[in-house]
Chains A and B, each alone.
Chain A
Amino acid sequence: AQSVTQLGSHVSVSEGALVLLRCNYSSSVPPYLFWYVQYPNQGLQLLLKYTSAATLVKGINGFEAEFKKSETSFHLTKPSAHMSDAAEYFCAVRLSNDYKLSFGAGTTVTVRA
Chain B
Amino acid sequence: NAGVTQTPKFQVLKTGQSMTLQCAQDMNHNSMYWYRQDPGMGLRLIYYSASEGTTDKGEVPNGYNVSRLNKREFSLRLESAAPSQTSVYFCASRTSQRGTDTQYFGPGTRLTVL
Contacts and interface: CB of A to CB of B under 8 A. Distances in A.
Interface residues of B, number: 25
Q: Chain B interface secondary structure, helix, strand, loop or mixed?
A: strand
B106 A43 contact: yes
Interface of B: 4, 31, 33, 35, 40-45, 48, 50, 58, 90, 92, 94, 99, 101-108
B42 A104 contact: yes
Tier of interface size on chain A: 20 to 34
A32 B101 contact: yes
A103 interface: yes
B106 A99 contact: no
Nearest to A105: B42
Nearest to B91: A43
Contacts of B33: 100-101
25 contacts: A9-B40, A34-B102, A36-B105, A41-B108, A42-B108, A43-B4, A43-B106, A43-B107, A46-B102, A46-B104, A51-B101, A90-B43, A100-B33, A100-B45, A101-B33, A101-B43, A101-B103, A102-B45, A103-B35, A103-B43, A104-B42, A105-B40, A105-B41, A106-B40, A106-B42
Nearest to A32: B101
A69 B92 CA distance: 28
